[in-house]
Chains A and B, each alone.
Chain A
Amino acid sequence: MENKKELPLGGVIPRGGTAHEYSTGGWRKLRPVVDKDKCTNCLICWVMCPDSAVITQDGKMVGFDMEHCKGCGICAVECPDKVKAIKMEEEAG
């Protein structure tokens, strides 16, 4: 945005992947907290997360991308009933 005269015509964003640069983590009211002792790495949370904010490594769930997690809580709801490894906690005021 340094040079507003050079803004692309019609508001087109002339490259892909720019959503990654936009921090949506600031919208969060509740944050997901995972208990890795309970987690079975079924990766249902990774499948269901609408913001691709569940981080995996070597096929295992290792945490959340807090720059993009909006705190919607879908992961906590979708975590299987027998496991319930994810809880939503209040963000510190």
Chain B
Amino acid sequence: MAISTKGQTGLTGNTAIAYAMKQINPDVCPAYPITPSTAIIEDFSSYVADGAVDTELITVESEHSAMSACIGAAAAGARVMTATSAQGLALMWEMLYIASGMRFPIVIANVNRALSAPINIHCDHSDSMGARDSGWVQLYSETVQEAYDNFIQAVRIAENEKVLLPVMVCFDGFITSHAIENISLLDDAEVREFIGEYKPRHHLLDTDNPVTYGAMTLQDTYIEFKRQQSQAMSRAKDVVTEVGREFAGKFGRDYGLMETYRLDDAEAAIVILNSAAGTTKVAADELRKQGKKVGVLRPRLFRPFPFKEMADALKNVKAVAVLDRADSMNGFGGPLFNEVRSALYELDTRPRVISRIYGLGGRDYKVKDAASVFDELLKISSTGKVETLQKYITL
């Protein structure tokens, strides 16, 4: 299928990511298919077969091997990317830590899908939330347009010399990956100019300057390497902002660390990731028409977690609901709730914060669901009392 970069183009999330990969033209792409991310590699393999890219596509026997091959290729100095979902990301788990610990700027599209059991192929965030401590930068995307833009920016963020960490671009399985949306694409030349050439500090194919990757470090140095990695992750926050500004300056689409929607004078706010933020904004618009002061905060950057900016954005709100599409199973609320509430603890006057788990395994989250959470928040805001701190909704 010929795709035009002029004007608006109707693409699914997966097709848009495959097209971004074609424009990026990575050196190596080791991949193993899994629903709902399969079409990314399916489309991209056509580009490889047609000679539209120079990429070495390695069809491996599992996702563990896919991430292992990404690491090996990155050690050889290649620009590397792949895509996966759910069980695929889970199978990569130990290799995710190795990729980040070795400071390889690998980029992965993670199309969010529920983890088994029971088996389910639809959207929730239990896959990427399970990888939140693996040392990967995590960007979440509401729309096809944002997934495409985030994926291109991810290359710059990962390869920035202040960062040098792998980046995971997350978007919702089926809802974003399979729905067609009109989006604006960049020209190939614009993408190439924006991402530039990747020049690794060291690589294994440079036989004039031999190096060792994967050496053992024990009590005398391991903790220093982890601190170094943590500091790089912390620097990634400003790099995400800088790259976002440059992207906005060149291409007009502006993304910060988070999106705030009608939040300035809001009494009640919902914090929510990815596509469901769109539904929540529609509910906010409807309630605003009735004079109710409600707003939405959609985090774009989840790792590193911009806790100061989060607290600043929510400091004047009276009641906040954090909606998680993943459960920490008997942790204190979902993973996003945990972090948002913890960020707010530093404030002198804190909003009341409740946890709601929604939409697991692709369960629909409707405007009425968001509206009912807003109504609950407005009640909390007027009475100052929380009746139910945490519960499942959309049941």
Name A residues whose Cβ lies closer than 8 Å to a Cβ of B: 1, 4-5, 7, 9-18
A21 nearest CB across to chain B (Å): 12
Q: B217 an interface residue at 8 Å Cβ cutoff?
A: yes
Number of A-B residue pairs at CB separation under 8 A = 50
Instruction: Evaluate contact between A11 and B211: CB separation under 8 angstroms.
Output: no
Report A-chain residues with C-beta under 8 Å of the C-beta of B101.
Answer: 10-11
Report B-chain residues with C-beta under 8 Å of the C-beta of A17.
Answer: 210
Q: Which of B224-242 contact A (CB under 8 A)?
A: 224-225, 228-229
Q: List 5 A-B contacts (CB under 8 A).
A: A1-B221, A7-B225, A7-B228, A9-B103, A9-B228
Instruction: Evaluate contact between A14 and B217: CB separation under 8 angstroms.
Output: no
Report A-chain residues with C-beta under 8 Å of the C-beta of B104.
Answer: 10
Instruction: Evaluate contact between B102 and A11: CB separation under 8 angstroms.
Output: yes
Q: 4 tightest A-B contacts by CB?
A: A16-B210, A10-B103, A13-B212, A10-B102
Report A-chain residues with C-beta under 8 Å of the C-beta of B224.
Answer: 4-5, 7
B134 nearest CB across to chain A (Å): 15
B99 nearest CB across to chain A (Å): 10
Instruction: Evaluate contact between A12 and B211: CB separation under 8 angstroms.
Output: yes
Report the nearest B residue to A17, measured CB to CB: B210
Q: B332 an interface residue at 8 Å Cβ cutoff?
A: no
B216 nearest CB across to chain A (Å): 9
B162 nearest CB across to chain A (Å): 11
CB contact under 8 A between A7 and B210, given known A12-B202, A13-B215, A14-B202: no
B208 nearest CB across to chain A (Å): 10
Report B-chain residues with C-beta under 8 Å of the C-beta of A14.
Answer: 202, 209, 211
In whole angstroms, how far apart are the Cα atoms of A54 and B111 in the complex? 55
Report B-chain residues with C-beta under 8 Å of the C-beta of A7.
Answer: 221, 224-225, 228
Report B-chain residues with C-beta under 8 Å of the C-beta of A4.
Answer: 221, 224
Report A-chain residues with C-beta under 8 Å of the C-beta of B211.
Answer: 12-16
In whole angstroms, how far apart are the Cα atoms of A16 and B214 in the complex? 14
Report A-chain residues with C-beta under 8 Å of the C-beta of B220.
Answer: 1
Instruction: Evaluate contact between B164 and A12: CB separation under 8 angstroms.
Output: no
B338 nearest CB across to chain A (Å): 29
B1 nearest CB across to chain A (Å): 40
Instruction: Evaluate contact between B225 and A10: CB separation under 8 angstroms.
Output: yes
**B 197-210 binary contact with A (CB < 8 Å = 1; else 0):** 00001100000011
In whole angstroms, how far apart are the Cα atoms of A28 and B326 in the complex? 53
Report A-chain residues with C-beta under 8 Å of the C-beta of B229.
Answer: 10
Report A-chain residues with C-beta under 8 Å of the C-beta of B214.
Answer: 11
Report B-chain residues with C-beta under 8 Å of the C-beta of A15.
Answer: 209-211
In whole angstroms, how far apart are the Cα atoms of A13 and B211 in the complex? 5
Q: B213 an interface residue at 8 Å Cβ cutoff?
A: yes
Instruction: Evaluate contact between B210 and A9: CB separation under 8 angstroms.
Output: no
Instruction: Evaluate contact between B201 and A9: CB separation under 8 angstroms.
Output: yes
Report A-chain residues with C-beta under 8 Å of the C-beta of B201.
Answer: 9, 12
